[in-house]
């Protein structure tokens, strides 16, 4: 079964990260200087610090640390002591930053802001992933991401053991009720099966010299709609806000009509409900909570003897 592309620490992620760092620099410095640091710290002072979690969690974002430092044009060296996806232990350093003390102080808040956010998303995702262990279900993110942070937050979801849904509107057909409503005519909304057929006919084709994506997914809100689209055969059918009983019925119907189609559940997915959803036999469970409900992980900078650097 094909899937949406997993976000990795590639050029696209680096580009987004650097854009965010430039915005952070503008917020903190506004084309000026860090007056407190310049006033109190000698420009030749060398030192080092460790990035240390204050609580347990999952590591995410270390792959971006060198890019952050580079965007500051800082006289600093980065040493990674952990890898993205690793378990974090309170008090156990995950990276060192060594070099000009002024540069460390000026870049400190941006470094911690980005890593704390990404570690928080990875940690929250891992909690969801652990709940579905032993089932066939996988946990997926959504497009409910912080503007400008989409690739970074999706990367963090992957670090936490989750899977990435589509990155945007460009890399998959996802037909929702609004598409069917507005794609209809005076006789009423477009039938779900017709919408699925149209997308299947379009996939891989060319429109204005652009290649259409391969993945076709359609949202249904009733078992009758499910029966109609299963005959057409999209890659995925999204069960929108189905209760447990209807999810179980949907799995049975899918097995009877087209077992090659995967089922995704979305809506009312929480840490309290996801285990029961996974036990119904669906393959995919998506939740915007992975990103919009995740809290930051508490990270800090601990200084050590400058002579050791």
Q: Cite the active site residues.
A: 109, 144, 176, 219, 240
Quick check: 234 and 218 in contact, CB under 8 A? yes
Residue 165 sits at the vertex; the CA angle it makes with 131 and 193, to the nearest 5 degrees, is 110
Is residue 8 marked as binding?
A: no
| Separation CA 4–CA 235 (nearest Å) | 11
Separation of alpha carbons 140 and 165, rounded Å? 6
22 annotated to bind ligand: no
Confirm or deny that 142 is annotated as ligand binding.
Answer: yes
Question: Is residue 266 a known part of a binding site?
Answer: yes
Q: Is 19 annotated as a binding residue?
A: no
Say whether 126 counts as a known binding-site residue. no
DSSP letter assigned to residue 167? S
> Is residue 227 a known part of a binding site?
no
Which tokens hold the place of 151? 């690739």
Nearest Cα to Cα of residue 278 among 133, 73, 111: 133
The reply to whether 166 sits in an annotated binding site is: yes
144 is in an annotated binding site: yes
- In terms of DSSP bridges, do strands 95-100 and 76-80 run parallel, antiparallel, or are they unpaired? antiparallel
- Does 288 show up as a binding residue in the annotation? yes
Cα–Cα distance between 156 and 119 in angstroms, integer?
7
Is residue 267 part of an annotated ligand binding site? Answer: yes
Question: Do the beta carbons of residue 118 and residue 159 sit within 8 Å?
Answer: yes
CA separation for the pair 88, 85 (Å, rounded): 9
List phi, psi (to 5°) of 95: -165, 160
9: left (phi over 0), alpha (psi -120 to 50) or beta: beta
Give the span between the Cα atoms of 131 and 38, in whole angstroms.
49
18 has binding-site annotation: no
The answer to whether 268 is a known ligand-binding residue is yes
150 is known to lie in a ligand binding site: no
What is the DSSP secondary-structure string of 20-82? HHHHHHHHHHTTS--HHHHHHS-TT-EEEEEEEESS-EE---GGGHHHHHHHTT-SEEEEESS
Q: Which residues are annotated as a binding site?
A: 109, 142-144, 166, 176, 219, 240, 266-268, 287-289
Q: Which residues are annotated as a binding site for substrate?
A: 109, 142-144, 166, 176, 219, 240, 266-268, 287-289
């Amino acid at each position: 079964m094909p899937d949406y592309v997993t976000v990795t620490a590639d050029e696209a992620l680096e580009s987004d990260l650097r854009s965010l760092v430039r915005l952070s620099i503008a917020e903190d410095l506004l084309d000026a200087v860090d007056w407190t640091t310049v006033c109190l710290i000698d420009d030749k002072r060398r030192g080092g610090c460790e990035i240390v979690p204050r609580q347990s969690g999952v590591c995410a974002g270390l792959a971006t640390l060198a890019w952050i430092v580079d965007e500051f044009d800082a006289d600093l060296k980065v040493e990674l002591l952990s890898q993205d996806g690793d378990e974090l232990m309170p008090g156990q350093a995950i990276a060192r930053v060594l070099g000009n003390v002024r540069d460390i102080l000026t870049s400190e808040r941006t470094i911690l802001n980005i890593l704390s956010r990404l570690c928080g998303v990875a940690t929250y995702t891992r909690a969801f992933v652990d709940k579905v262990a032993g089932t066939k279900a996988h946990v997926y993110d959504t497009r409910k991401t912080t503007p400008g942070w989409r690739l970074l937050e999706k990367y963090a979801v992957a670090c936490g053991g989750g899977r990435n849904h589509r990155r945007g509107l460009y890399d998959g057909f996802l037909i929702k009720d609004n598409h069917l409503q507005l794609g209809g005519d005076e006789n009423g909304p477009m039938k779900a099966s017709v919408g699925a057929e149209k997308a299947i006919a379009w996939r891989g084709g060319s429109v204005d010299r652009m290649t259409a994506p391969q993945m076709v997914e359609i949202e249904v809100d009733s078992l009758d709609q499910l029966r109609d689209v299963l005959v057409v055969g999209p890659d995925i059918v999204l069960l929108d806000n189905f209760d447990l009983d209807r999810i179980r019925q949907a799995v049975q119907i899918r097995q009877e009509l087209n077992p090659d189609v995967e089922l995704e559940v979305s809506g009312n997915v929480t840490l309290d409900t996801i285990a029961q959803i996974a036990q119904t036999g669906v393959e995919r469970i998506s939740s915007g909570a992975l990103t919009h409900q995740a809290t930051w992980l508490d990270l800090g900078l601990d200084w050590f003897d400058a002579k050791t650097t």
